[in-house]
Structure 1
Amino acid sequence: MTIVVGYVNNPAGHAALDRGIAEAKKDGRDLVVVNASRTSDRRDSYRLGEGEMKSVQDYLSRSGVQAQVLARGSEYEPAEQILDAAAEAGAQLIVLGTRKRTPVGKFLLGSTIQRVILEAVCPVLCVKASH
Structure 2
Amino acid sequence: MTVAAARSRTAAGHAALAAAVEEARLRRTDLVVLHVIEGLTTEAGDEAAVHAEVAGELAGLEVGDLSWTLRTTAGGRDTAGSLVDLAVEVDAEMLVVGTRRRSPVGKLLLGSVVQRVLLDSPVPVMVVKPAV
One-letter amino acid of the counterpart of residue 53, structure 1: H
Change (3 A) 1:107 1:36: farther
8 Å contact 1:94–1:124 — kept in the other structure?
yes
Which structure 2 segments of 5+ residues have no match?
none
Equivalent residue for 1:44?
A: none
Which structure 1 segments of 5+ residues have no match?
42-46
Determine the C-alpha separation between the residues in 2 that align with 1:48 and 1:89. 17
Determine the C-alpha separation between the residues in 2 that align with 1:81 and 1:31. 18
1:94 aligns to what SS in structure 2? strand
2:74 aligns to what SS in structure 1? coil
Matched-pair identity in %: 34
Equivalent residue for 1:65?
A: 66
Q: Superposition RMSD on alpha carbons, in Å?
A: 2.5
Equivalent residue for 2:53?
A: 55
The CA deviation string for residues 39-68 of structure 1, in whole angstroms up to 9 with x for no partner, is 147xxxxx8882x53031244365132111
One-letter amino acid of the counterpart of residue 57, structure 1: A
Equivalent residue for 2:114?
A: 113
| CA displacement at 1:102 relative to structure 2 | 2.2
Runs of 4+ in 1 over 4 A off after TM superposition: none
Which has more strand, going by share of residues?
Answer: 2
The CA deviation string for residues 11-51 of structure 1, in whole angstroms up to 9 with x for no partner, is 1111110000000011211111111233147xxxxx8882x
Equivalent residue for 2:85?
A: 84
1:95 aligns to what SS in structure 2? strand
2:9 aligns to what SS in structure 1? coil
